[in-house]
Structure 1
Amino acid sequence: MSRIQRSSIRKQLRQALRHALNVLPTAWRFALYRRMIDCDPAPPANLQLKIADTREELAACFALLHDAYVGSGFMKPHPSGMRVTQYHALPTTTTLCAKIDGVVVGTMSMIREGVFGFPLQAAFDLSEVRAKEGQIAEISALAVHPDYRKTGGAILFPLMKFMYEYCTEYFDTRHLVIAVNPDKIELYESLLFFKRLRDNVVDRYDFANGAPAVGATLDLAHAPALFEQVYGGRSTRKNLFKYFVQTRLPNIQSPRRRYHTTNDPVMTPEILDHFFNQQTQGFAELDERRRLLLRSIYGLPGYDAVLPPTPPSVAGHHPLRRHQRFSLRCPAQLVLGDDAPLPLTVIELSAGGFQAESKVPLPLDADGIAQVELGTRDCSTVQVRIVRNGGPSSQYGGFYGFKLEATDEVWRRCVAALEQGQTAADLMRPMPIAVATPVGPTAARLADVALG
């Protein structure tokens, strides 16, 4: 029997099983799916889960994704044998890989909102999700090697656990969004409690070669309680609450970061050139607006030669804002006069200021001293003025803009690293900076506050 015949028979069997399940009430189907869970809390030691950060790992992920998408009819075969999308070029996209004995057997990408938005926003309305607090990430580009698709989730569940940990602990993400084939949506609804973005199915989803799609979302702030409610009393291998929230897998290689950045970009000029100029024509196919947006985030030496050219006349017709290459989430405290320290969370910084969330309302035009933990070993003390109220927050008192009146070497070194380093690996290297003289009040006052 040929491979095509076997594939056709399997497809017919799956269709027959789906038709049989569709006869059951929804609650029964969901209960059946949950009984099929098999999440091993102690995977074999030869399974490794990590961020794909080399050209070889990314190529293996893109090839695996290509074969899975072609096999499902979600894309036409590409001469490169890879599925590489424009979103993979952005520093706000992270690709995970699962490896067995060093060979990539599974992959998944998380696309946090960047200069290109999200793939699914062309077909689904995200206004209700955007109206809530927290960053959004689209889960996309999921593929498991055919040899491991019938192993009870031996690759899929560890990948999903890694995704859950990465989004909640490293990626500063609260809301997940997905666009999946209608045949798969009930698995996400029943196992992970995703809620549909709209009742009806999108008949043609261009990002998946015109296949039908269903959009859905999950609020990660509420997920642990939902998991515990449904899975809390179940046996270990069927308890997704314990697996996702409480279990730590030694197989997961967490990202190494010097600063409290919230993404892990890996695209060097050489890697961008390889995937988007040599293996595919990804950059050549971008419109002029997106070419400009790419240049707005890759403004360092070495990138200019590999990015797609843009006619000088176009720049004047496309006003662009300079985008932050790295976002952060840094614990901090603010001292105003003789008052007790107020907790802050710094979410964006620059050489001249930062933006932060405050749990209480703050007075505008007030001067103070802020202590900011930029990294686990990098604590900065700076003098600031509150210059802008960025609006209220249901969880915090509000978002505020702070102007720096005086900085220290720790702050300047961090800013230099963010400005001069494009990849996560760059930030781990020592970054020499020019010594600057603090402006405004004397540096001695900062030292006094730092010493307590």
Structure 2
Amino acid sequence: MTGEMFEKMKVFLDGFDYRVARSRAELERSFELVYQEYIRQGYIDGHPSGMRFFLHNILPETTTFVAMLDDTVVATATIVPDSPIGLPMDDLYKDEIDELRTKGRTVCEISMLAHSHDLFGEEVSVMLNAKKMFLIFYLFKHLFNYVKEVMKTDYICIAVNPKHATMYNYLYFEDLGELKYYDKVNGAPAMGKFLDVNSVEKKSQEGTSSSLYKMFFTEKSHPSKFIKKFKFQVEDILYFFNLKTDIFKGIF
């Protein structure tokens, strides 16, 4: 990517506010975006709630990021910390992730990645649409900075559809095990990937894309992007897990 295109994309992104979700409404819209993306991809069947989320969202250290355009959530991703209940992708890659854990290193997972298709319309992959690519890459920049600077975690893990593997390879993710099939997304194929948080800057600096290095490492996310994070209270748990869905029916 040329320096001129990089500067043009930065101008395009000036209208977006990347930060943690700060309200129930923002979190709900994020869950709706994920649901819409998963329905569109055929990963899940329809549900009256129109949302997609899981128990790990309740954890106090789970953090949902949003890209806001005006007052609208247009992209989202969630960072899930390791905990006694593990990571969502332990369902498929527990043995592989345990190898990282047994080295005494800490792990987290990026999950629930989605963006609004109203922004772009056409069905073009991220790597073939510069605006879409920058929208997602800048979201990952803030996710990465949060994992490194706030969580101080060693590895980021993610399970992706193989058709998106090129994007993650470009971001220096490495393979974590073999191709598997995920029952929770209607048997869709999945590739486990992981990123070594502590070595990726050096790899990027030595790589072929100066724009990627500039995007991720020449300027850190401002601390204000990470404050006032929404955390579940009892009433929020009841709203999402008992009122909007039946996950906790009969418990409360």
- Whether TM-score is above 0.5 comes out as yes
Contact 2:182/2:188 (<8 A) preserved:
yes
Q: Deviations over 1:64-108 (max 9, x none)?
A: 110000100111111111102111121131110110011000000
Structure 2 residue 83 is the aligned partner of structure 1 residue 83: no
AA matched with 2:243:
Q
Q: Secondary structure at the match of 1:119?
A: coil
Distance in 2 (CA, whole Å) between partners of 1:136 and 1:272 is 25
SS in structure 2 of the partner of residue 183 of structure 1? helix
> In the alignment, what sits opposite 2:103?
132
CA contact 1:64–1:143 (8 Å) conserved in 2: yes
Specify whether residues 180 and 44 from structure 1 end up closer, same or farther in structure 2 by C-alpha distance, changes over 3 A only: closer
Q: Where do 1:31-430 residues align within 5 Å?
A: 40-124=9-93, 125=95, 126-149=97-120, 150=129, 151-189=131-169, 191-198=170-177, 200-202=178-180, 204-231=181-208, 234=210, 239-248=211-220, 253-256=224-227, 266-284=231-249, 308=251
Q: How many residues are paired up?
A: 238
Identity %: 29
**1:135 Cα offset (Å):** 1.7
Deviations 1:303-332 (A, max 9, x none): xxxxx35xxxxxxxxxxxxxxxxxxxxxxx
C-alpha deviation, 1:42, in angstroms: 5.0
Q: Matched residues in 2 for 1:116 and 1:51: separation?
A: 23
Distance 1:38 1:273, change over 3 A: farther
Q: How big is each residue's C-alpha offset from its partner over 1:234-291, in whole Å with a ceiling of 9 and x where there is no partner? A: 3xxxx111211112466x842238xxxxxx5611112111111100122249xxxxxx
Cα deviation code 1:8-40 (max 9, x no counterpart): xxxxxxxxxxxxxxxxxxxxxxxxxx89x9584
Q: 1:104 to 1:57 in 2, by over 3 A?
A: same
SS at match of 1:155: helix
Letter in 1 for 2:70: D
AA of the residue aligned to 1:177: C
Cα distance change of structure 1 residues 78 and 253 upon mapping to structure 2, 3 Å threshold: farther
Computed over aligned residues only, the root mean square deviation of the Cα atoms, in angstroms, reads 2.4
Greater C-alpha radius of gyration = 1
Provide closer, same or farther for how the CA distance between residues 277 and 38 of structure 1 changes in structure 2, counting only shifts above 3 A.
farther
Partner Cα distance (1:159, 1:135) in 2: 22
Q: Is the 8 A contact 2:145 2:221 kept in 1?
A: no
Does the CA contact (< 8 Å) of 1:42 and 1:249 recur in 2? no
CA distance in 1, matches of 2:71, 2:230: 22
In structure 2, what is the Cα distance between the partners aligned to 1:112 and 1:183?
A: 26
Which deviates more, 147-156 or 161-170? 147-156
1:373-404 CA-to-partner distances (Å, cap 9, x unmatched) read: xxxxxxxxxxxxxxxxxxxxxxxxxxxxxxxx
TM-score, normalised by the number of residues in structure 2 = 0.86
CA distance in 2 between partners of 1:74 and 1:133 (Å):
34
User: Is the 8 Å Cα contact of residues 145 and 220 (structure 2) preserved in structure 1?
Assistant: no
Higher relative contact order, chain-length normalized (CA < 8 Å, sep 6+): 2
Distance 1:213 1:93, change over 3 A: same
| TM-score normalised by length of structure 1 | 0.49
Question: What SS class does the counterpart of residue 153 from structure 1 fall into?
Answer: helix
8 Å CA contact 2:107, 2:156 repeated in 1: yes
Q: Could you tell me how far apart the structure 2 residues matched to 1:38 and 1:272 are? A: 42
Q: Is the Cα contact below 8 Å between 1:105 and 1:145 reproduced in 2?
A: yes
- CA distance, structure 1, for counterparts of residue 63 and residue 204 of structure 2: 25
Residues 41, 247 of structure 1: 8 Å contact kept: no
Between the aligned partners of 2:193 and 2:184, the Cα distance in structure 1 is 16
* Secondary structure of the corresponding residue to residue 162 of structure 2: coil
**SS in structure 2 at match of 1:123:** helix
Report the Cα offset of residue 109 of structure 1.
0.4
Structure 1 unaligned spans of 5+: 1-33, 258-263, 286-307, 310-452
Measure the CA separation in 2 of the matches of 1:38 and 1:80: 39
